[in-house]
Chains A and B, each alone.
Chain A
Amino acid sequence: MASRNPAVPSAEHEHDAHGSHPGDRTYIRIAIILSIITAVEVLIYYIDALEGILVPALIILSLAKFIIVIEYFMHLKFDDRNLTYIFMCGLGLALATFVVLGIIMHYDKIDTFVSNAI
């Protein structure tokens, strides 16, 4: 975690200086990587042989894109660690909402299924 003592700037605080942000070339390389990942996503969508692993593969690829954008384009990799914690809290709650909603609707379906069976 970043040092809170302003008199002693930590290594992470040193990174806050804009000079340590990636240069334009790095940004272009990252954009190329993101484009390639998007192309791969679309490609595997059309390959029937990969149907079995389509969903996990798509989720992993989109997760990779997500992480690359927040780390490099949004500078979370170089900014104060507290910003990462703030964002992760929101993201964690969003995922929890996603899972809980899924479970609620799933159990709602089970109730319907059981009552139909009875």
Chain B
Amino acid sequence: MAQVVDLTETHGVGHDGGDGHSGHPPTSTGINHRKMLMWLFLASDCMFFGSLIATYMIYRGRSEEMGIGPFPHELVDIPYTSVSAFVLLMSSLTMVLALSALQQGNIRNSRLWIAATALLGTVFLGGQWFEFSEFYHEGLSLHTNMYGASFFTLTGFHGFHVTIGVLWLISLLFVSLRGGLKKEDSLDLEIAGLYWHFVDIVWIVIFTLVYLIPYEEKTSEAGEHAMRLVSFGSSLLSRFF
């Protein structure tokens, strides 16, 4: 005999998919649709940034080979960017503390942490603006060389994501101040938090691949050897096939 399951009891009230929305209609996966949609968006955004980072990694070396400066090692300021990375990392902490406070019903603290996150995000954006201005004054723009084009596109799109996140947080802060963000609405903040943390993990990757990993002659020499090896292999294969 088929087992009759009351979805409303098990999902809608008893278990809500971890969203904090007790009135959410039942879903076949047990996961709130909004939360799942945000994760799907983040997965698609991974591909977007993956393509941008790959393009940057390919082109920054090419501009050095072509001899059109300025080059990455002449411009990047590691201590300055490290502070920016630290600021964004701390904003992830304040974001998660805001969610934790709201889930505990501490509205006042949640507002405080949301405001702190938006502030840290703004500080990061200010830092990025300053860095862009410095690079521009040093002679690097979107049109200078392949390094400039791929660098400004990659970091600019990341900055755009941070801007959207800051605006989102400010709007949530206003909603909270008007009494519209309570313990039951924690999913609203959790979804904004997922987006914010994603922006942070993208910067973790950018900070390492764009700023810290150097492009050196050794790398290109190793590439030359690898190319010789592959071309030898392909010529060997062409004799047999």
Can you list 6 contacts pairing A with B, beta carbon distance less than 8 Å? A6-B11, A21-B100, A23-B100, A28-B93, A35-B86, A70-B197
Q: Cβ of A6 and Cβ of B10 under 8 Å apart?
A: yes
A50 at the interface (CB under 8 A from B): no
* Complex-state Cα separation, A117 to B90, whole angstroms: 53
Contact of B100 among A24, A69, A113 (CB under 8 A): A24
Additional A-B contact list (6), CB under 8 Å, known A7-B10, A86-B40: A18-B18, A38-B85, A54-B214, A87-B42, A98-B54, A117-B231
* Complex-state Cα separation, A107 to B97, whole angstroms: 48
B2-54 with Cβ < 8 A to chain A: 3, 5, 7, 10-11, 14-15, 17-18, 20, 26, 28-31, 35-36, 39-40, 42-47, 49-51, 53-54
A46 → chain B, closest Cβ, in Å? 8
B89 at the interface (CB under 8 A from A): yes
Q: Please classify how large the interface on chain B is, using the bins under 10, 10 to 19, 20 to 34, 35 or more.
A: 35 or more
Contact of B201 among A55, A59, A69, A82 (CB under 8 A): A69
Q: Cβ of A98 and Cβ of B18 under 8 Å apart?
A: no
B interface SS class: helix
Q: Cβ of B204 and Cβ of A94 under 8 Å apart?
A: no
B111 → chain A, closest Cβ, in Å? 16
Residues on the A chain within 8 Å of B123, using CB = none
* Complex-state Cα separation, A101 to B224, whole angstroms: 18
Chain A residue nearest to B6 in the complex (CB): A7
B53 → chain A, closest Cβ, in Å? 7
Q: Which of A65, A106, A117 has the most CB of B within 10 A?
A: A65
Contact of B58 among A54, A102, A110 (CB under 8 A): A102
B230 at the interface (CB under 8 A from A): yes
Q: Cβ of A24 and Cβ of B36 under 8 Å apart?
A: no
Residues of A within 8 A of B (CB): 2, 4-7, 9, 13, 16-18, 21, 23-24, 27-28, 30-31, 34-35, 38, 41-42, 45-46, 54-55, 58-59, 61-62, 65-66, 69-70, 72-74, 78-80, 82-83, 86-87, 89-91, 93-95, 97-98, 101-102, 105-107, 109-110, 113-114, 117
Q: Cβ of B54 and Cβ of A102 under 8 Å apart?
A: yes
State whether A16 and B15 are in contact (beta carbons under 8 Å apart), knowing that A31-B92, A74-B197 are contacts in the complex: yes
Q: Cβ of B208 and Cβ of A59 under 8 Å apart?
A: yes
Contact of A18 among B5, B20, B89, B234 (CB under 8 A): B20
B114 at the interface (CB under 8 A from A): no
* Complex-state Cα separation, A61 to B205, whole angstroms: 10
B155 at the interface (CB under 8 A from A): no
Q: Cβ of B51 and Cβ of A42 under 8 Å apart?
A: no
Q: Cβ of B89 and Cβ of A83 under 8 Å apart?
A: no
Chain B residue nearest to A28 in the complex (CB): B93
State whether A101 and B58 are in contact (beta carbons under 8 Å apart), knowing that A69-B200, A86-B43 are contacts in the complex: yes
